[in-house]
Amino acid sequence: MSGDPAVLEADAVSLRFGGVRALSDVSFSVQRGEIFSIIGPNGAGKTSMVNCVSGRYRPTEGRILFEGRDVTPLRPNRRAALGIGRTFQNLALFGHMSVLDNIMVGRHTLLGAGFLRGMVYWIGGAQREELAHRREVEEIIDFLEIEHVRKATAGTLSYGLRKRVELARAIALKPRLILLDEPMAGMNLEEKEDMARFIVDLNEEWGMTVLMIEHDMGVVMDISHRVMVLDFGKKIAEGTPEAVLADAHVRRAYLGESDDVVRDEAEPASA
Amino acid sequence: MDGALLFQLVLNGLIVGALYGVVAMSFVLIYKASQVVNFAQGEFLLVGAWVCWWMLTYWQLPIWAGFLFTLAFMTIFGILLQVIVLRPLIGEPVISVIMATVGLSIFFQALMKWIFGVFAQPFPPLFTVERVRVLGLEVQSVYLASLGVSAFIMLGFWWFFTYSKHGLAMRATAFDQQVAQSLGISVPKVFAMSWAISAVVSAVAGVVVGVVNGVSSALSFYGIKVFPAVILGGLDSIVGAVLGGLIVGVLENVAQYVDSQWLNWGNMYQIAPFYALILILLIKPYGLFGTRNIERV
Full-model pTM: 0.84
Q: Measured between CA atoms, how close is A128 to chain B, in angstroms? A: 11
Give the residue from chain B lying closest to A106, CA to CA. Answer: B183
* pLDDT digit string, tens, across residues A12-62: 999 999 888 999 999 999 999 999 999 988 888 999 999 999 999 999 999
Give the residue from chain B lying closest to A121, CA to CA. Answer: B164
Between strands A209-213 and A35-39, the pairing is parallel
Q: Any bridge partners for residue A9, and if so which?
A: A29, A65
Interface test with B, best of A58, A79, A119 (most B CBs within 10 A): A119
Q: Would you tell me how many other CB atoms lie within 10 Å of the CB of residue B15?
A: 22
Q: Would you tell me how many other CB atoms lie within 10 Å of the CB of residue B80?
A: 14
Q: Are B194 and B29 in contact (CB under 8 A)?
A: yes
H runs (alpha helix) in chain B: 2-34, 41-57, 63-80, 94-116, 141-163, 165-175, 177-182, 187-213, 221-233, 238-258, 268-283
Of B116, B128, B149, B99, residue with least CA distance to B47:
B116
Instruction: Name the average pLDDT for chain A.
Output: 85
Q: What pLDDT is attached to residue B132? A: 78
* Residue A84 in this model has a pLDDT that exceeds 70: yes
* Residue A191 in this model has a pLDDT that exceeds 80: yes
Give the residue, B131 or A207, on which the prediction is more confident: A207
Distance separating alpha carbons of residues A112 and A121, to the nearest angstrom: 12
Contact A56 B163 (CB under 8 A): no
Q: What pLDDT is attached to residue A257? A: 58
Those residues of chain B that have pLDDT short of 70 are 1, 293-297
Q: Would you tell me how many other CB atoms lie within 10 Å of the CB of residue A175?
A: 22
- Is the confidence metric ipTM above 0.90 for this complex? no
Contact A77 B169 (CB under 8 A): no
Q: Measured between CA atoms, how close is B135 to chain A, in angstroms? A: 32
What pLDDT band is residue A131 in, cutting at 50, 70 and 90?
Answer: confident
Q: DSSP state, A90?
A: S
Q: Are B274 and B248 in contact (CB under 8 A)?
A: no
Distance separating alpha carbons of residues A87 and B130, to the nearest angstrom: 60
Q: What are phi and psi of A13, to 5 degrees?
A: -80, 125
Q: Would you tell me how many other CB atoms lie within 10 Å of the CB of residue B118?
A: 9
> Which residues of chain B are within 8 Å of residue A103 when distances are taken between CB atoms?
none
What pLDDT band is residue A256 in, cutting at 50, 70 and 90?
Answer: low
Q: What pLDDT is attached to residue B69? A: 95
* Residue A267 in this model has a pLDDT that exceeds 60: no
Contact A97 B181 (CB under 8 A): no
Instruction: State whether residue A52 sits within 8 Å of chain B by CB.
Output: no
Sign of the Cα torsion A90, A96, A99, A101 reads negative
Instruction: State whether residue A109 sits within 8 Å of chain B by CB.
Output: yes
Q: Are A39 and A49 in contact (CB under 8 A)?
A: no
Q: Which of B168, B180, B185 sits opposite A101 (nearest CB)?
A: B168
Q: What pLDDT is attached to residue B295? A: 53
Contact B193 A115 (CB under 8 A): yes
Going from the C-alpha of B220 to that of each of B33, B97, B213, the distances in angstroms are: 23, 19, 13
Q: What are phi and psi of A206, to 5 degrees?
A: -90, -10
* pLDDT digit string, tens, across residues A6-20: 899 999 999 999 888
Sign of the Cα torsion A144, A150, A154, A159 reads negative
Query: Residue type at B131?
Result: R
What pLDDT band is residue A130 in, cutting at 50, 70 and 90?
Answer: low
Give the residue from chain A lying closest to B201, CA to CA. Answer: A119
H runs (alpha helix) in B81-163: 94-116, 141-163
* pLDDT digit string, tens, across residues B83-136: 999 999 988 888 999 999 999 999 999 999 999 988 989 988 877 777 777 777
* Residue A118 in this model has a pLDDT that exceeds 60: no
Distance separating alpha carbons of residues A191 and A251, to the nearest angstrom: 28
Instruction: State whether residue A177 sits within 8 Å of chain B by CB.
Output: no
Give the residue, A213 or A269, on which the prediction is more confident: A213
Give the residue, A243 or B6, on which the prediction is more confident: A243
Distance separating alpha carbons of residues A206 and B175, to the nearest angstrom: 30
Distance separating alpha carbons of residues B45 and B212, to the nearest angstrom: 13
Contact B179 A80 (CB under 8 A): no
